[in-house]
Amino acid sequence: MNNPHAALNTASPLLIRISLQLSPIQRNVRTQLNKRLPDGQKLPWPPFGRQWYTGCTTNIAGNSFKAAVRFLAFDTFKSLLSDENGNISGPRTVLAGLGAGVSESVLAVTPSESVKVKLIDDKKSPNPRMRGLVHGTSVILREQGVRALFNGLLPTTVRQASSSAVRFGSYMTMKQLAQSYIPPGEKLGSAATFGIGAMAGTITVYVTMPIDVVKSRMQSLHASQYRNSVECFYRIATEEGIRALWSGAVPRLARLMMSGGIVFTLYEKSMEFFNWVDPGKKYI
């Protein structure tokens, strides 16, 4: 079983990935939330500085856990769905990705994303009340209860499941295609792995962007104006236009291209290292 390896593998990619994610995340969410506001109420773009990293503590804490859950769950499902030779088909890879996405959403993503979006949305008010992760979480729990941490659970789970399915499915498909052009037993180079991971991130963005937009709206402080995710999707499409469902795609694209390339490259290298250290997988 590769599962313990998968959890350990998240440590090294995570630190690099987080540093690249912070600013694009703020631009992504800010763009999505500003879409529904009239011009006079839109939150202006701040100069580069601390405001660009609003919610970064939440992002670091959330990513630390969700990255471990994602790869651990994916490796677990992949092992269960592989044949006796350890091979897995494309459709089964997609199923493993779906399972990883659902696990990640319920256990890690929804609570951290909910707090993050509320922290960013709080900055829209004339007198912001939330002072970081700990204080913001305490305010949310005190005023809205534990259920507030799971606002947008359905769209977040759909987003994570679809994102993981598309990302892992496209990555494994392109990886297998690339390996068919090299001699048997030879491994892909780091540059090729990075490129495949970046392309998988690009595909993921444009396939799942509408779900991400709905998720952000349903987790904002003004989510009460929507009865459910379906109505939110319908109102965005009819009141703001279809293109609004892809608002924030460019900053998210920058984030997922880089993180996809980095995470998959370091994941593959980490797997090689752990397999070399413990070939029988008895200890790690």
**Angle at CA of residue 167, ends 164 and 170, nearest 5°:** 135
Q: What is the dihedral of CA 193, 59, 127, 38, to 10 degrees?
A: 40
Alpha-carbon separation of residue 143 from 94, 146, 227, 248 (angstroms): 39, 9, 20, 30
pLDDT, residue 95, reads 94
CA atoms of 215 and 229, how far apart (whole Å): 8
pLDDT, residue 253, reads 87
Alpha-carbon separation of residue 179 from 79, 145, 186, 207 (angstroms): 20, 50, 8, 25
Cβ atoms of residues 88 and 96 within 8 Å: yes
Using 50 as the pLDDT threshold, list the residues of the chain that sit under it.
Answer: 1-2, 4, 7-8, 10-25
pLDDT, residue 279, reads 79
Domain ranges of the chain: 3-277
CA atoms of 32 and 127, how far apart (whole Å): 21
Q: What digits encode the pLDDT tens for the residues 233-277? A: 999 999 989 998 998 888 888 888 988 898 899 888 888 888 888
Is the pTM value of this prediction over 0.75? no
CA atoms of 184 and 219, how far apart (whole Å): 48
pLDDT, residue 38, reads 60
Class for the domain spanning 3-277: mainly alpha
Pick from 51, 14, 49, 31: nearest CA to 251: 31
**Which amino acid makes up residue 187?**
K
Q: What digits encode the pLDDT tens for the residues 118-151? A: 887 887 777 888 877 788 888 889 988 988 888 8
pLDDT, residue 12, reads 46
